[in-house]
Amino acid sequence: MLIELSHIQRLYRSDEVETTALQDIDLQIETGEFVAIMGPSGCGKSTLLNILGTIDRPTSGSYRFGTQELTAMNEAELAKFRREHLGYVFQSFNLIDELTIEENIELALIYREMPKSERRARVAHAVDHVGIAHRARHYPSQLSGGQQQRAAIARAIVGQPSLILADEPTGNLDTDNGAQVMDILQRLNDEGATIIMVTHSPSHADLARRRIDMLDGQVVVSVRNAI
Amino acid sequence: MKLTPHVHTVFAAFFRQMRCHRLYTAINVMGLALGLAACLTFGLIARYEFTFDQWLHGARGIYRLDAVNVQDGRASEIADAPFRVYDALKAAFPEITHATRIRPDNISIITADDVRSSNALYVDPDFFETLPYPLVRGDAASALSAPNSIVLSEERARTYFHTINVIGQKLTVDHDGRKAELIVTGVLSHVPGNVTLQPDMLIPIDSAMLASPAFLQWGIEGGYVFCRLHAPSDAKRLQGAMVRFSLDHVPPQVRDAGELRDWRLRPLPSLHFLDGTLGISSASRNSVIMLGLIGLLALLSAIINTINLSTARGLLRAREVAMRKTLGATRGDLIIQFMGEAILLAACAAIPALALIEIAIPTINALGGWDVVIPYDLLIPALLVLVILVGMVAGTYPAFWLSAYQPARVLAASRMATMGRLGAVVRLGLVVIQFGFAIGLSVSSVVILRQSVFVRDMDRGFDRNGLLFIPFIDNIGTPTAQLALMDAFRNVPGVTTVSSFYTMPGDFGFSAADYFSPLNAPDQRPRLEWQDVGRDYFRLFGLHLIAGRLFDDAHGEDDQQKGKGIHSVVIDASSARALGYTTPQAALGQTIRKHTDRAPWHVIGVVNDVRLNSARSAPLPSIYFYSSMPYRFSSAGVRFENRPERDVEANLRTIWQSRAPDLAFSALLASDLLSHDYRGDERRGELLAIGAGVAIFIALMGMYALASFTVARRMLEVGIRKTLGATTARVLGLLLGQFLKPVLGAGLIGCTLAWVVMRNWLSGFDARIPLSPLYFAAVFAAALLVAALTVLFQTLNVARAEPARALRAE
Ligand SMILES: Nc1ncnc2c1ncn2[C@@H]1O[C@H](COP(=O)(O)OP(=O)(O)OP(=O)(O)O)[C@@H](O)[C@H]1O
Ligand SMILES: [Mg+2]
């Protein structure tokens, strides 16, 4: 078992109102799985992904990753966890405007204290992998949306993480670009990476091995796709 | 031009900003107010210093005649002239329409219940024609024509008579060695503080004075000679004729001694700074220019804040700007908008600036010894001009920069607009200038203050505490009377030693120097400071003997006034070296003589070196001559202990008054005399420190505001980096680094400049502190620290944010 969430709850408190983004989530994910999360807007998909990515903390509950209990970790340990195990693809790309595509991707390695030459080689490999090598020296604003999303994926995979989290990676893309991105994710999964992806597209969800449906902060069904 | 809609938009946008961005507006207004106030305050001081004497009617046609002596092949100008030149000058040059001699002196004013000392100027009847000081009472044409008249300043009239209606009143004075009854014939109006001559009293030179040597001999400087020329163009011709004049009139033996070889005609408005270079006053053109520059740079620093903040704000508004442009606003519209906002901002700063100036001027006056009066008729227009200017400068850059932004690029960018590489470089450069200036000023003020403390505390070779001087006891009468006075002083409780002497510390009093040679080594001829001393002098100053013995009445030959044989001298260690003796012991028993005449002396003792003169010049090797009887121009020194100085002084005064009821008593503390040596620099350092404080404050305010924008702009980036595994510490380091890098660069630039300037300044001192790298390192570290503290809160806040929250920030 790679991931084991039990009784995860996430509340947002603002002045008077209390929003329950997640309530009592129990979820297990095996190593090498490709999971698609679906559900209506506001049901808590991004919140769940954030918690899985440790960039947000659950209000209560336990999150075990392998043998580690992540909710007990401090800031620095979580940062270390993220840089060693995690790749994150955002819906809105989230590339840094002042850095070139290459530099953006390299950022995922910089915090690993890796020699410059190795970083170079890995970045070159990653941009090649997603098919934007010819755009590596451009700035994000000079790329199309599909290219930016592929750059964001390259950044997520360059560190060869064991877990890739993707929040609507195809949401902002047209059909062709979306298909390309799904293709990349599938290839990564074939190579052994565990992938958890939020999507609104049932056809993309069908490409995953398992589909989780959410509603109002709860998991309602978890079905295994026939492949 | 359709101006009205613009003006309306500008105002509307400005007030919206003021409301919505209180911090931004407050910092901008505060920074600009400080900058404007610093600029105008230092500007007023510079104006005050640069307009010395110019208020006097026809100041440009008034000249002072300075004598030029040649010593060791070097020409040196002195502000005084022998009064003998007066008649010859007027006869030789008909271009001189009026001229006056001015002899400053101290006189005693005798009133019913007190005797007070006052400065007085003895002048010729032509004084008011030459230097037209205005009178509030009396008639300038006749005020000085009668021999027994006196003209008082308003302030003195009020002191003695409690009114300024004093024409015809009598004033009893003791002056020029005699008692006299003078009749008040005029009252001077109050004059501004920036005058070279600030007369308290004017007394016409009378026939008794005219018969004294100071008025008759070429070799004696009597005081100042001022003249008024027909036209300023005459000055050049006159100056050209001066060497000839010297040859024609100055006796050869005076010229041969190197004196009065030439003359200089110095225009009155130039005297202030000239006297600084001649060493008469502490005026310094450079330090005034420096103050002016500090003011300008403070304003520049505030302008930089406005530029940086409005650009940063503009970036946050880039989408709005882009939208406006898409909606059809022209570039001109946007430029007017930004400039208009900047001018309004500066206008808002003008009022607190005015208040700050009102507070600053009295403070600075007290600190710098100025008498600056705020000229509102000048200040208000200057402020208005500055507001417009500052607004235009501060508005231009962001206006052009932002209006040049291409809407498509802004709108297409995934998030907030950035300024691109060039913009970042410019902004960085501006911050570097701000901090470089602040750091440079701080280091300089630290160095100057350290040096003034060093001069204050330096070992001068004598004990300055508990030492009082009573100048010119010869006024009291015969040498026997002077000795009796000193004997009476000895009986004052607390007094341990009393002696007469002639040279006071701190370049006050008389000094003379001459060339001396050992009899057996005539080639050694050092210039030694001539010190005539009375009994117990060494004990009075607390000097210690290095070799031989001190003067002793048991040895008759020690006293210069006794016997015809070879007399004794004591020299100090550096004199012994200068005379060529390898050790102090070697000097003992040697015979030396004055370079110009034959009379020999025996060296009986060697004492430690003493520095009576300024730390700026090399210490003077001294030679001591003992006379048991005081003579002309002698002063008394009194050492006391275990008693408050006030009590001792009061007792001395009582003794003085019982012996000389008509003479004002004055006593000077050695430590006060010495304070002249560092007070000026102390003040300069304090002014600089104020400037540095303002500069630092403005720079930090700018950095704080900039940080809040930058940090907001980098929120998303922080979220991304943390998602990618960056720790809080690393993100904090990254953000702090961004703010501290320019400070680092600024430190290098500021320290380098300060080092060059301070090395140059210190080189003007003979006794000085080493220019230690520690000062620079300390200021540098402090600057980094305060800068880091300034941005720490905001940075920490962002760096610690939960990544999910940071990513959501936009
Ligand atoms: N920082 C926050 N403060 C308050 N409420 C929040 C916050 N973040 C999310 N929520 C709320 O939590 C709920 C879940 O939000 P979440 O972003 O996870 O939805 P989602 O399923 O990803 O929706 P979408 O498909 O639109 O992206 C929503 O009701 C949202 O309003
Ligand atoms: Mg979402």
- Inter-chain CB proximity A96 and B413 less than 8 Å: no
Rounded to an integer, what distance in angstroms lies between the CA atom of residue B677 and that of residue B792?
44
Q: What is the pLDDT of residue B551?
A: 92
What DSSP element (H or E) covers A147? helix A145-157
* Minimum distance, in Å, between the CA of residue B405 and any CA atom of chain A: 15
Distance separating the N- and C-terminal Cα atoms of chain A: 21
Ligand number nearest CA of A44 is 1
Residue B563 backbone phi and psi in degrees, to 5: 75, 170
Q: Answer yes or no: are the C-beta atoms of B490 and B640 closer than 8 Å.
A: no
Residues 105-124 of A with CB under 8 A from B: 107-108, 111-112
Our CA dihedral for B732, B734, B737, B738, rounded to 10 degrees, sits at: -110
Question: What 8-state DSSP symbol labels residue B617?
Answer: S
Nearest to B414 among A95, A107, A111 (CB): A95
Contact A108 B726 (CB under 8 A): no
Q: Ligand 2 centre from A43 Cα, in Å?
A: 8
CB-defined contacts A:B, below 8 A: 74
Structure tokens at B334: 């946007």
CB contact under 8 A, A57 and B802: yes
Q: Which residues of chain B have pLDDT under 70?
A: 1-7, 17, 316-329, 402-422, 506-511, 809-810
Protein residue with its CA nearest to atom 13 in ligand 1: A21
State how far the Cα of B765 lies from the Cα of B252, in Å rounded to an integer.
Answer: 37
B803·A94 Cβ contact <8 A = no
pLDDT attached to residue B779: 94
- Ligand 1 pocket test: pick from A43, A50, A218 the residue with the most ligand atoms within 8 Å of its Cβ: A43
- How is chain B split into domains, by residue range? 1-54+284-417, 83-259, 421-459+679-810, 472-665
Put residue A113 in one of left, alpha, beta given phi > 0 → left and psi -120 to 50 → alpha.
Answer: left
Q: How many CB atoms lie within 10 A of CB B411?
A: 14
ipTM field: 0.88
| Contacting residues of B for A95, CB less than 8 Å apart | 414, 720
**For residue range A140-152, what is the model confidence (pLDDT) as tens digits?**
888 888 899 889 9
Domains observed in chain A: 3-224 (3.40.50.300)
Residue B84 CA to residue B761 CA, distance in Å, equals 40
CB pair distance less than 8 Å for B727 and A141: no
CA distance B755 to B767: 18
Reported as type and span, the H/E element at residue B15 is helix B3-20
Spell out the SS3 assignment of B164-209. Answer: CCCCCCEEEEEECCEEEEEEEEEEECCCCCCCCCCCCEEEECCHHH
- Taking the CA of residue A83 and the nearest CA in chain B, the distance in Å comes to 4
Two tokens, residue B804: 């999910």
B192 CB burial (10 A radius; 0-12, 13-18, 19+): middle
Q: What is the pLDDT of residues A70-99, one digit of tens each?
A: 999 988 888 889 888 999 898 788 888 888
Residues ≥6 apart with Cβ < 8 Å to B445: B685, B686, B688, B689, B691, B692
Atom in ligand 1 nearest the alpha carbon of residue A48: 18
Closest residue, chain B, to A148 (C-alpha)? B414
Q: How many A from CA of A40 to the centre of ligand 2?
A: 10
In this prediction, residue B414 carries a pLDDT of 46
Check whether A218 has a pLDDT greater than 80. Answer: yes
Task: State how far the Cα of B798 lies from the Cα of B515, in Å rounded to an integer.
Answer: 76
Distance CA B742, CA B745 (A): 5
Q: Relative to the alpha carbon of A56, which ligand is closest?
A: 1
Chain B residues within an 8 Å CB radius of A55: 719, 722-723, 802-804, 807
Nearest residue (CA) to ligand 1, atom 29: A42
Q: What is the pLDDT of residue A118?
A: 92
As a whole number of angstroms, the distance between CA A191 and CA A185 comes to: 10
The whole-number pLDDT of residue B419 equals 55
